[in-house]
């Protein structure tokens, strides 16, 4: 079935239109113009603030014309990630979507349901002529995925509403009332090099096929990190065979669990049999360890040529691998107050070793500022200990739950009434914009919800069709209760 024939048609058609527009973080010019044209073509008030956020305002409709003004918010940018064997130009091509049973997916790339479904839902309300809704202040922010720049630089004077609905969660039975803050840790080191031994043979080692996913929402699933697996492979091989490290390229995005890593090494021809033997040992070990969580894990090695002019000096290789092995990754601390909530985590998102430079990117998250500082200092110490320059930036606050929230109470009661089950009212371990927006919109009562999305930030991303219908029905009825 074509995407545009799915129900609710208005939402899916707007999602298809949106996904035809390339919209990577930091490059939102086209989608900003797309949203401004959309609002102006409807004859609505359109504002672009100084950072690039788009605000579209619409008067209330039908029986809700005089209801209190509602702020609705989603972000315009999406994570652009593809499988290694997928040919796709994110700067020029629209997302290629397919229907697979009850799910919409993309062909080898991220789908953009995060947060495109939320954007499309708001667009459907703005373009509607027969849906009752209160006066709307639609807030479309930019650069959520790589720094929440739009939320941080928001001009709060453009809004008068005292209730905000953020449509950016990924489980349709969940009402988010709080979230983690975060900080980026970026490191760099100029390593010494040495000549590649004459007569050496080059080998390429690959880790691929991992689940990947969102480094906040999925960090508690016990998934493998390609950078950490590759480090373990190199550490093991180097303990058994004389090798020279030529390059390391692992991970892709700061907020995605790394799915793939590629390394090049060199060793003497005499070590060829032993290197393959040792690799098979560690590959079998890792495959057995991860068979449950990562059944599609692929570990490979093959002989290859190399263009590198030099290798990482032996002593430097030792320091680098030690640092990568020692750096924490995954859940750092569970919340002692909210059962099942990850309080603090860290993810080693990116590793690059090439042309005399060793670079890493990692992201630390926590709903508690003091433990966010603690884990960030832990990562800093690991890398400073080997001489890296460490820069920590992009610090943003969490969203503290409000136990007396009227909109949360309304949404929870409505969920019980409509679906005859208890909603999951929880804080999430991801950087939602609400925490930052609350600084610009003091006193605004906030809640976040959305349909079922799986594999966000990875090429396995998908959104459930039946859940989108459930989300839409829930949203429309919630608007009626705001009168």
Q: Catalytic residue numbers?
A: 77, 144
- Beta-strand ranges (E) seen in 89-191 are 97-100, 103-106, 136-141, 163-166, 174-179, 181-190
Would you give the DSSP letter of residue 436? Answer: H
Distance between CA atoms of residues 272 and 475, nearest Å: 62
Query: Are the C-beta atoms of 376 and 180 separated by less than 8 Å?
Result: no
Residues 341, 347, 353: CA angle, nearest 5 degrees: 175
- Beta-strand ranges (E) seen in 5-88 are 45-48, 54-58, 70-75
Quote the distance between the C-alpha of residue 386 and its chain's center.
29
481: tokens are 């209760």
Coil, strand or helix at 431: coil
Query: Are the C-beta atoms of 214 and 430 separated by less than 8 Å?
Result: yes
290: tokens are 């991860």
Distance between CA atoms of residues 13 and 15, nearest Å: 5
Residue among 448, 438, 429 at smallest CA distance from 180: 429
Query: Are the C-beta atoms of 405 and 163 separated by less than 8 Å?
Result: no
- Beta-strand ranges (E) seen in 174-310 are 174-179, 181-190, 193-194, 200-208, 244-250, 261-268, 298-304
Query: Are the C-beta atoms of 194 and 314 separated by less than 8 Å?
Result: yes
Rg for the chain, CA atoms, rounded:
24
């Amino acid at each position: 079935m074509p995407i545009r024939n799915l129900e609710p048609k208005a939402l899916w058609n707007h999602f298809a239109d949106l996904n035809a527009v390339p919209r990577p973080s930091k490059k939102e010019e086209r989608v900003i113009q797309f949203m401004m044209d959309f609002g102006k073509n409807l004859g609505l008030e359109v504002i672009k603030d100084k950072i690039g956020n788009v605000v579209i305002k619409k008067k209330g409709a039908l029986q809700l014309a005089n209801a209190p003004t509602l702020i609705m918010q989603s972000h315009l940018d999406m994570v652009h990630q593809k499988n290694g064997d997928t040919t796709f130009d994110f700067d020029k091509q629209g997302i290629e979507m397919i229907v697979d049973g009850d799910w919409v997916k993309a062909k080898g790339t991220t789908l953009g349901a995060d947060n495109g479904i939320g954007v499309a839902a708001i667009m459907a309300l703005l373009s509607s002529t027969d849906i009752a809704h209160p006066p709307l202040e639609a807030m479309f922010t930019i650069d959520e995925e790589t720094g929440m720049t739009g939320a941080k630089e928001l001009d709060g004077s453009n809004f008068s509403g005292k209730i905000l609905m953020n449509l950016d969660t990924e489980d349709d039975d969940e009402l988010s009332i709080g979230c983690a803050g975060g900080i980026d840790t970026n490191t760099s080191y100029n390593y010494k090099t040495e000549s590649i031994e004459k007569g050496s043979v080059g080998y390429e080692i690959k880790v691929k096929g991992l689940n990947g996913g969102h480094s906040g929402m999925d960090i508690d699933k016990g998934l493998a990190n390609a950078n950490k697996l590759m480090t373990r492979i190199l550490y093991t091989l180097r303990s058994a065979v004389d090798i020279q490290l030529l390059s390391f390229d692992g991970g892709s995005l700061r907020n995605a669990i790394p799915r793939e890593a590629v390394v090049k090494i060199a060793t003497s021809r005499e070590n060829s049999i032993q290197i393959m033997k040792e690799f098979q040992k560690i590959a079998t070990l890792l495959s057995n360890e991860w068979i449950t969580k990562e059944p599609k894990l692929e570990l490979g090695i093959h002989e290859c040529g190399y263009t590198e002019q030099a290798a990482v000096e032996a002593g430097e290789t030792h320091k680098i691998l030690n640092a990568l092995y020692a750096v924490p990754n995954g859940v750092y601390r569970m919340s002692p107050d909210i059962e099942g909530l990850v309080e603090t985590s860290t993810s080693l998102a990116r590793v690059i070793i090439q042309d005399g430079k060793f670079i890493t990117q990692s992201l630390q998250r926590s709903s508690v500022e003091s433990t966010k500082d603690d884990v960030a200092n832990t990562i800093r110490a690991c890398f400073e200990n080997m001489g890296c320059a460490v820069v920590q930036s992009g610090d943003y606050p969490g969203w503290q739950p409000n136990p007396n929230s009227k909109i949360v109470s309304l949404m929870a009661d409505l969920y019980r009434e409509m679906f005859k089950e208890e909603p999951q009212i929880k804080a999430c371990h991801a950087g939602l914009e609400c925490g930052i927006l609350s600084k610009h919109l003091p006193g605004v009562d906030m809640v976040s919800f959305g349909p079922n999305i799986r594999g966000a930030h990875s090429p396995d991303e998908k959104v459930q069709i039946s859940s989108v219908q459930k989300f839409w029905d829930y949203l429309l009825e919630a608007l009626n209760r705001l009168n």
